[in-house]
Structure formats: structure tokens, C-alpha cells
Amino acid sequence: MNLRHIEVFHAVFVTGSVSGGARALNVSQPSVSKVLKHAEDQLGFKLFDRISGRLIPTEKGIKLFDEVQPLVDQLNELSRFTANLKHTKSGHLRFAMTPAFGLEIGPVALARFVKNNPDITIETETLHAHQVVKALLDNQIDTGLVFDAPAFPGIQKLQIGQTEFVCIAPEGLSLPSNGPLKISDLRAYPLVTLNQKSVLGKVLSLKLEDAFDSKINSNIVVETYHLAKRLVKQNAGIAIIDSITAFSGDISGLQIRALTPGIKINVDIIMRLNEPQAKHQSLFNAELRSAMRQFREKLNLTST
């Protein structure tokens, strides 16, 4: 069964008729009928039965369609990719970031970059930090933005700033002081905590265990700080999260307090080691640095 057979079979199956398949493929009905018959002759079984003037897929035809559909999806994706490639005059950039950067820093950098570089296409996705690293090593992305990038063979990192952990609590909740809080001050409060799949989750878990003598009062463990923030807004407890997540987007209904001593977190761009950077990649990295600086200035924090 060749690609033309697959194309015709899929079109007839989806539209339910030879005429519908012909319209979908912009060819004549006799041409579709001829290709369909040739496919059945090669396969040695019928793909459709004609009942009351209608084409009804056979049992084997239905099973074949289930195998053909993923291939058609891949062909469609290839078609979209080549179309994009045709209209891309200067280059293409693949970028991934962790969720914390998805509300403000990432969108600001992306918007500025495409405005200033209209001939560059950029493909972006939001992943967890270990997934960003894997995607980079697997050559699925060109640039990543993560917190505290681990030292990993084949990867170089470029620190573009710092953030810190803060405590977020419902607006009406009484906290121990009006100034910065010690982690140990939060012992009596129900906590929404981050799991230990991420670097930040592991760091914070160790800090909490040390401050609480390993007795952490947490009924909800989440995977992202965005979810922790939403849960705090619903009075599910308090949370310690990075200040980028804390101050991104809607902060109504929350009080955000610094911690003492402060717990700093690096913000790193990661790229493959010893791989020449295209000019547009360097330009995008500069936009990420600028967006990070602008965000910190908005919070009246000192840029690194």
C-alpha cells in the first residue's frame, strides 16, 4: 500500500463516499475509484462494502484506518512544517521555558523578538525543567529558560538574573509579623508544597524540613507554583514560591512577604555546549535578559 493508496483510502473513509474523497483531494471520482480498487487488489481484501448506494468500511478497513490515521497526521504536520519553512526567510528558533516564565517574562521577550525580527519563526512550549534539559539534549529545542540549571554534560548556561523565594498567603490571614518572615514562623500554618521533581522543589523541601524538624504541615503537594498560587487564593493554605510566579499575573487576594534569610534562585538560559549560535538566537537571548531586567525593575528589586 503506497502513499497515494493511503491518501485516497483516508479521504474516502473520512468523507464517507468516493465523491467526497474526490472533492477533498481535488481530483476526479474515476481517479479515486481506480486508486481505491488498485489498493484493494494489492491488499487482497475489501476496504469498503457498497450498501444501499453507500460505502461502508469493512472490519478490516476500520482496523486499517486506525493504523493509517497517525501516519496521515504526521504527513499533515510535515506539510505544515514545509509551508512554514517556505515562508521563513531568515531562520527558525525552538524555545522552551518552565511555567513560571509563561505569564510575563517569556511573553514579553517573545513579543518583542517577533516584532523586531518578522522574518524569524519561533516555536515555543512550556515544560518542566528536566524536560527542558532533555529536549535540549535531544535537539528538540535550541534555547531553554529555567531556574538554577544543573551542571550537565553537553549544556552551557547563561545566568540572566536572580529571583528569590517568598511566602504567599490569603489577604486576610494574620501572619507573625509585618516584615520579612522566617520559614520557622510558618510552622503553625497549613502549607501547599511543591513536589521534589524539580530543583526548586528539592531545595525548598530541605529548607522546610530543617526549619520544621522534618514535620511539615502540608495536606496538598503540587507540581507547579502556579497551582500553589491558585490554591492559596482559594484559602487552601499558604505557600513558599518563587517571586516571579508570585508577582506574575493576578495578585489580588494575596499578601506576598519576603523571607529571612533570603533564598536566592538563579535564572538561567541553557543552550547546547560548543554549538555555534545563530544571530537570531543571540538576539532572542538578549530579549530574555531584557525582559528579566524589566520584571525585576517593576518589583523595585536589584538586578543582577
pLDDT for 254:
92
pLDDT for 299:
76
Q: How far apart are the first and last CA of the chain?
A: 61
d(CA 244, CA 295): 8
CATH superfamily label, 91-160+266-298: Periplasmic binding protein-like II (3.40.190.10)
Taking only the tens of pLDDT, the chain with its 304 residues reads: 888 999 999 899 999 889 988 898 899 999 999 999 999 999 999 999 988 878 899 999 899 999 999 888 888 888 877 776 665 556 889 999 999 999 899 999 999 999 999 888 899 999 988 899 999 999 999 999 999 888 888 899 999 999 999 999 999 889 887 889 998 888 888 899 888 777 777 778 888 888 877 677 778 888 888 899 999 999 999 999 999 999 988 889 999 999 988 889 899 999 999 888 888 999 999 999 999 999 988 876 433 3
Residue with cell 474516502: 12
pLDDT for 50:
86
Angle ∠(5,8,11) on CA atoms, nearest 5: 145
| 177 bridge partner residues | none
d(CA 67, CA 152): 39
Three-state secondary structure string covering 276-301 = CCCHHHHHHHHHHHHHHHHHHHHCCC
**Domain residue limits, the chain:** 3-87, 91-160+266-298, 162-265
Phi/psi for 45 (5° steps) reads -155, 160
Distance of CA 204 to the CA centre of its chain: 23
Closest CA to 258 of 244, 247, 237, 243: 243
d(CA 119, CA 52): 54
Do the two domains 3-87 and 162-265 of this chain adopt the same fold?
no
d(CA 248, CA 261): 23
Please indicate, yes or no, whether the overall pTM of this predicted structure exceeds 0.95.
no
Is domain 162-265 annotated with CATH 3.50.50.60? no
d(CA 21, CA 34): 12
pLDDT for 141:
93
pLDDT for 86:
65
DSSP letters of the chain?
A: --HHHHHHHHHHHHHSSHHHHHHHHTS-HHHHHHHHHHHHHHHTS-SEEEETTEEEE-HHHHHHHHHHHHHHHHHHHHHHHHHHHHH-SSEEEEEEE-GGGTTTHHHHHHHHHHHH-TTEEEEEEE--HHHHHHHHHTTS-SEEEEESPPP-TTEEEEEEEEEEEEEEEETT---S-SS-B-GGGGTTS-EEEE-TTSHHHHHHHHHHHHHTTT---EEEEES-HHHHHHHHHTTS-EEEEEHHHHHSS--TTEEEEEBSS--EEEEEEEEETT-PPPHHHHHHHHHHHHHHHHHHHHTTPPP-
Q: Which class does domain 3-87 fall in?
A: mainly alpha
How many CB atoms are closer than 10 A to CB 26?
6
Question: What residues contact residue 221 under an 8 Å CB cut-off, 6+ apart?
Answer: 192, 193, 194, 195
Angle ∠(170,223,185) on CA atoms, nearest 5: 40
Contact 121, 88 (CB under 8 A): yes
